[in-house]
Amino acid sequence: MKAKRIYNFNPGPAALPLTVLEEVQENFLDFRGSGMSITEISHRSRQFDDVVNDAVARTKRLLGLSDNFEVLFIQGGASLQFCMIPMNFLAPGKSADYVDTGTWSTKAIKEAQLQDKSIAVVASSEDKNYSYIPKNISFNDDAAFVHLTSNNTIKGTQWAEFPDTKGVPIICDMSSDIMSRPLEVNRFGMIYAGAQKNIGPAGACLVIIRKDLLDWIPDTVPTMLKYSTFAAKNSMYNTPPCFAVYTVQLMLKWLEETIGGLQEMAAINQEKAQLLYGYMDGSDYYRATAEADSRSPMNVTFRLPSEDLEKQFVEQALASDLGGLKGHRSVGGCRASIYNAITLEAVQALVDFMKAFEKENG
């Protein structure tokens, strides 16, 4: 029987390409001739070694990473990274700059403050409810790193370009736009992303780290909270989230082999975003909430004329097989998450529905 599939605009966990899911399904009972499922094989097996090594190699190729970087998979989501970053990189005497673009960067700041680390919040867009990305920021020359959130999943904002930090390495939470566009990787000391939005299922956080930063880590950091522990053991000091890493590997293969790389992925993502924002800009009914130059091509946040209509919109959309359009509970409104796996066809179906809804209720 053919599975029912809807257009899934969930913010995370989020849609994966159908071909990736089918590949998981096809190999689920017998993983690469082992007679066991990927959920049953040993993480010390040759088969799983190949999975991790391939995921690392694909990450490096897709992003153009040199051997100066380690690619790691760590459990605990992006939220654990908020805590590990200051723990590993802010030994006494070191300070870091943080930019607060809402929710996730606010949480990252809180985790550093909880540990009594020396940090400066050098810019914030709180004054306008985090609807924009701050400009003209003065960073501290002696900062050990600058922490940014590249894409605010909830407010629908994205750094279109990363700020000039005058050589200070950027540590960036890319949970909701990792692998959605090419990057100038040499500007980053570390990039991290919970996999469950753009590159796989929940359970693994991708951490890309410049090797020299590993030398900053105090010995006193507990073993499982040290990046060096994961780097020394190819992410397998203890049992890794095997199924999640495997699915990430398939997603990276899809990005490389089906899409053709990040340049191509970015062009597709731009086309989808333009279709949706373009339609809303021409409508008096829907209002995109992020300022125009800060709009995220990944999470498109918008309002309708009333909360009642927003509720009806989300319900009727779901009845038309368009799911996940409710805004985050902290902000209300609507949100369409149009990550890498969302097709242009899905965005067109959403725009068609929006037009019909406006006609009926406008």
Ligand X SMILES: Cc1ncc(COP(=O)(O)O)c(C=O)c1O
Rule CB under 6 A: which residues touch ligand X? 12, 77-79, 104, 149, 153, 173, 175-176, 194
On whether the CB atoms of residues 170 and 188 are closer than 8 A, the answer is yes
Q: Look up residue 114 and give its amino acid.
A: L
Work out how close the CB of 307 gets to ligand X at its nearest, in angstroms, rounded to a whole number: 23
Task: Identify which of 28, 7, 100 has the alpha carbon closest to the alpha carbon of residue 339.
Answer: 7
Work out how close the CB of 68 gets to ligand X at its nearest, in angstroms, rounded to a whole number: 25
Q: Measure Cα distances from 60 to 71, 190, 247, 262, 322 in Å.
A: 8, 13, 17, 12, 34
Q: Which is nearer to ligand X, 176 or 180 (CB)?
A: 176
Alpha carbon distance 30, 311 (integer Å): 44
Residue nearest to ligand X (CB): 77
Alpha carbon distance 41, 31 (integer Å): 8
Alpha carbon distance 305, 285 (integer Å): 6
Catalytic hit among 155, 197, 226, 326: 197
Q: For residue 17, what are its two tokens?
A: 């390409």
Q: Which is nearer to ligand X, 13 or 305 (CB)?
A: 13
Work out how close the CB of 32 gets to ligand X at its nearest, in angstroms, rounded to a whole number: 28
Catalytic hit among 97, 104, 117, 177: 104
Q: Look up residue 246 and give its amino acid.
A: Y
On whether the CB atoms of residues 288 and 301 are closer than 8 A, the answer is yes
Q: Which is nearer to ligand X, 88 or 149 (CB)?
A: 149
Work out how close the CB of 269 gets to ligand X at its nearest, in angstroms, rounded to a whole number: 16
Dihedral angle computed from the Cα positions of residues 192, 193, 199 and 200, in that order, rounded to the nearest 10 degrees? 120
Q: Which is nearer to ligand X, 176 or 301 (CB)?
A: 176
Catalytic hit among 173, 177, 226, 254: 173
Task: Identify which of 197, 158, 218 has the alpha carbon closest to the alpha carbon of residue 77.
Answer: 197
Q: Which is nearer to ligand X, 12 or 201 (CB)?
A: 12
Work out how close the CB of 202 gets to ligand X at its nearest, in angstroms, rounded to a whole number: 7
Could you check whether the bond before residue 13 is cis, i.e. omega within 30 degrees of 0?
yes
Work out how close the CB of 301 gets to ligand X at its nearest, in angstroms, rounded to a whole number: 13
Centroid of chain to Cα 30: 30
Q: Which is nearer to ligand X, 38 or 74 (CB)?
A: 74
Is 197 annotated in the active site? yes
Q: For residue 155, what are its two tokens?
A: 């407010």
Is 173 annotated in the active site? yes
Residue 35 class from Cβ within 10 Å (0-12 exposed, 13-18 middle, 19+ buried)?
Answer: exposed
Q: Which is nearer to ligand X, 91 or 202 (CB)?
A: 202
Work out how close the CB of 153 gets to ligand X at its nearest, in angstroms, rounded to a whole number: 3
Centroid of chain to Cα 252: 14
What does 38-57 look like in DSSP terms, one character per residue?
Answer: TTTS-TTSHHHHHHHHHHHH
Q: Is 255 helix (H, G, I), strand (E, B) or coil?
A: helix
Active site residues: 104, 173, 197
